[in-house]
Amino acid sequence: MVDRPGLITPEIAEQYGVSDHTVTKTWAQHPDWPAPVGKRGRYKEYAAADIADYVRKHVERQAVVLEPERLYTAQQLEDAGIGIKAGTIRADLARGRWPEPDDTEHGVNRWKGMTVMTAMTGRRVYRRSR
């Protein structure tokens, strides 16, 4: 078996646990997507190291660092740079995809930093070009 340093779309999708469609229609449309280094069959081939760099910079969510016991509103979480907009937090809460608030005093939903950090560990991010 030949050990190839390059990856084609199906291999990239398998390695990173996404669909071929995500690779070709989302990731590869980003301006920072690496240039192909060759071709294998009908697929463009990309340097594995270049793909790993792209995923690290544009796909993997950076660890969220918040004060564990402090209470945060959705807007404060957005402002803290967790990578999710306040509106998305509210929508995900309504759909059961975000944890229930730790505090609702005065009708304001607030979450402890630890609750948010735990919730963020399982989320993916797909940054779009600006």
Class of domain 6-58: mainly alpha
Cβ(67)–Cβ(77) under 8 Å? no
Question: CA angle at residue 117 from 14 to 58, to 5 degrees?
Answer: 40
Q: By the 8 A CB rule, do 99 and 115 touch?
A: yes
- What mean pLDDT, rounded, does the chain reach? 87
pLDDT at 128 over 60: no
32-85 pLDDT, tens digit each: 999 999 999 999 999 999 999 998 888 876 667 899 999 999 999 999 988 889
Q: What is the pTM of this model?
A: 0.55
Of 49, 79, 83, residue with least CA distance to 63: 83
The DSSP element (H or E) to which 79 belongs, if any, is helix 74-79
Q: What percent of the chain has pLDDT over 70?
A: 88
Question: Is 2's pLDDT higher than 60?
Answer: no
Per-residue pLDDT at 56: 84
Q: Determine the distance from the C-alpha atom of residue 77 to the mean position of all C-alpha atoms in its chain, rounded to a whole number.
A: 16
